[in-house]
């Protein structure tokens, strides 16, 4: 389901944001209620050097399903593939995105996609914002004591915030 599909607008809910990566996949969970958005959790799943591609994809699929089971999100938001990365990186991210989308679909959670530029514009106000600017704005919007780390977790929270701003 594309982000432009606004048929799922509700007053609040839990959003699971996923920043897909071949080596590091970030996640961020936010809950919006009464116009206030709070962070529930964030972190990463890291590949092990000895992992084969099938093992890595299975691990990510199971990780996403665990997050869905734990947090019961109403929405899963994943970063859309963008151009400018090398072909191998795009291929890897595409495969990771596929298992993330599959995990959400099998769990019955609507999946939305946003480009990095859309996320930066929604959270920072500029589509060309740096990772540090996104990290600091996520900290400010969610009222966190420190910027969320690593960048992959901050980006996942930014994805969830983008969807929160646009659809809830």
CA distances from 138 to 20, 82, 87, 163, 167 (A): 18, 22, 30, 13, 18
Helix (H) or strand (E) holding 136, with range, is: helix 131-142
Residue 20 dihedral angles phi and psi, to the nearest 5°: -75, 140
Catalytic pick from 19, 80, 113, 155?
19
The Cα–Cα gap between 107 and 35 comes to: 27
Catalytic pick from 80, 113, 152, 155?
152
**Residue 80 among the catalytic residues:** no
**Range list of β-strands (E), the chain:** 13-19, 24-33, 36-46, 75-79, 111-114
Spell out a b/e string for 77-100, using b for 16 or more CB atoms within 10 Å of the CB, else e: bbbbbeeeeeeeeeebbebbbebb
**Residue 69 among the catalytic residues:** no
Cβ–Cβ < 8 Å for 115, 128: no
Catalytic pick from 79, 80, 113, 155?
79
**Residue 155 among the catalytic residues:** no
Residues involved in catalysis: 19, 79, 152
């Amino acid at each position: 389901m594309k982000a432009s599909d606004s048929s799922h607008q509700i007053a609040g809910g839990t959003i699971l944001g996923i920043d897909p990566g071949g080596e590091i996949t970030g996640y961020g969970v936010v809950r919006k209620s009464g116009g206030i958005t709070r962070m529930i959790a964030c972190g990463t799943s890291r590949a092990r050097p000895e992992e084969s591609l099938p093992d890595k994809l299975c691990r990510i699929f199971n990780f996403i399903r665990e997050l869905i089971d734990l947090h019961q999100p109403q929405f899963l938001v994943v970063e859309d593939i963008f151009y400018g990365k090398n072909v191998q990186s795009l291929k890897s991210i595409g495969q990771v995105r596929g298992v993330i989308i599959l995990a959400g679909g099998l769990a019955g959670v609507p999946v939305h996609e946003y480009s990095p530029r859309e996320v930066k514009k929604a959270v920072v106000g500029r589509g060309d914002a740096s990772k540090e600017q996104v990290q600091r704005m996520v900290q400010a919007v969610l009222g966190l004591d420190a910027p969320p780390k690593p960048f992959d977790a901050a980006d996942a929270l930014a994805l969830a915030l983008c969807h929160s701003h646009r659809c809830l």
